[in-house]
Amino acid sequence: MLILGTILGLLSVILGAFGAHGLKGLVSPESIVSYETGVKYQMYHALLLLIVASQKVLTEKAKSTIFYLILVGVILFSGSIYGLATNVLTGFDFKSIAFVTPIGGLFLIIAWIVLLTNFLRLKTE
């Protein structure tokens, strides 16, 4: 969990810098804004993984569930946004798989719900 959080955070910084500097003039300003959304959500969830990993009150099962939900969620959500934002630069039409963006978002939402339900259980125990 710590390794994935660190890798996602590192990639967020690299991809954010690329988006801010490397994409100017290559894609529309709207695409850059969309790309930045993918970077932000990736970084938010990298930080969440680092926080969750440090929580002693969460079970290993909860941590594992959150880990996989975030992993799949970031790949589908942020990954598809990166593809859609840079669609004009590739030979693949990412619009054909745009349906995975909300699925990735749903995985991220479920990760937060799992975290919330585990914290609520602590209050009742």
112 closest CA partner among 62, 76, 40: 62
Q: What is the average per-residue pLDDT within 3-30?
A: 96
pTM of this prediction?
0.93
What domain count does the chain have?
1
Identify the domain containing residue 96 by its residue range.
2-124
**18-69 pLDDT tens trace:** 999 999 999 999 999 999 999 999 999 999 999 999 999 999 999 999 999 9
71 closest CA partner among 98, 94, 42: 42
**67-122 pLDDT tens trace:** 999 999 999 999 999 999 999 999 889 999 999 999 999 999 999 999 999 999 98
